């Protein structure tokens, strides 16, 4: 893996090709002042093609959001140009305010301040259920 260009920061590797913009949006990386690089369609022995996101700062990442978008992503923390920690993601058990319940009969449709919380119901099928009304939402990314 090429860590060039990141001295103290985070490299998100093994992102499915084409998903780096989704990662960028969901993690709100546009809010950062530091250098952020999106590399699309890199050659990968394992995946054929992949995307990479490089963040030139050690920020707090929402790993639940990342795991939801693509549990195959590897998170590499880099300090002084060296990888100091590598994290493999899984589908998170709970998602808070990542997806919204689409059931018009759900209490979240009228009580706007309620957090939209989903629990993982089926790991294989990547199905989440609203904790309030049990409506399912598939992890579609």
Partner 1 sequence: MQGNKARSVVSILDLSTDEINNLMNVADEIDKNPEKYQDKCKHKILSTIFFEPSTRTRLSFEAAMLSLGGSVISTPDSSSSSAAKGESISDTVQVISNYAHIIAMRHPKEGAPVVAAMKASVPVINAGDGGHFHPTQTLADLLTIRRTKGSLSGLTIGLCGDLMFGRTVHSLIEAMLRYSDNKYIFISPNELRLPEYMRDSLNKSGVEWEETSSLEYAVPKLDILYMTRVQKERFFNEEDYVRLKDTYILDEEKLSTAKKDLAILHPLPRVNEISTAVDNDPRAKYFYQTLCGKQMRMALIMMLLGIK
> What does the binding site for partner 1 look like in residue numbers (CB under 8 A)?
103, 105-111, 113-114, 121-122, 129-136
Least spacing, CB of residue 111 vs partner 1, in Å: 6
Q: By C-beta, is 16 or 116 nearer to partner 1?
A: 116
Q: By C-beta, is 69 or 117 nearer to partner 1?
A: 117
CA distance 60 to 38: 18
3-class secondary structure, 74: strand
3-class secondary structure, 67: helix
Least spacing, CB of residue 94 vs partner 1, in Å: 14
Q: By C-beta, is 38 or 114 nearer to partner 1?
A: 114
Residue 105 is encoded by which pair of tokens?
Answer: 């009969």
Least spacing, CB of residue 37 vs partner 1, in Å: 42
The Cβ of residue 89 has, within 10 Å, a number of other Cβ atoms equal to 19
Q: Where do we find the tokens 């546009």?
A: 30
Least spacing, CB of residue 69 vs partner 1, in Å: 24
Given the DSSP bridges, would you call strands 94-96 and 36-44 parallel, antiparallel or unpaired? unpaired
CA distance 91 to 70: 8
Q: By C-beta, is 77 or 132 nearer to partner 1?
A: 132
Q: In sequence order, what are the beta bridge partners of 12?
A: 53, 75
Least spacing, CB of residue 132 vs partner 1, in Å: 2
Q: By C-beta, is 85 or 122 nearer to partner 1?
A: 122
């Amino acid at each position: 893996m090429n860590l060039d260009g990141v001295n103290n920061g985070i490299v998100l590797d093994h992102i499915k090709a084409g998903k780096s913009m989704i990662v960028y949006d969901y993690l709100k990386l546009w809010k950062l002042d530091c250098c952020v690089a999106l590399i699309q369609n890199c050659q990968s022995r394992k995946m054929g093609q992949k995307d990479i996101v490089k963040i030139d700062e050690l920020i707090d990442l929402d790993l639940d959001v990342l795991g939801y978008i693509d549990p195959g992503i590897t998170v590499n923390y880099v300090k002084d140009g060296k990888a100091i920690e590598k994290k493999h993601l899984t589908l998170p058990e709970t998602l808070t305010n990542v997806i919204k319940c689409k059931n018009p009969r759900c209490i979240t449709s009228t009580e706007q301040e309620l957090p939209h919380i989903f629990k993982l119901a089926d790991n294989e099928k990547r199905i989440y259920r609203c904790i309030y009304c049990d409506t399912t939402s598939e992890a579609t990314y």
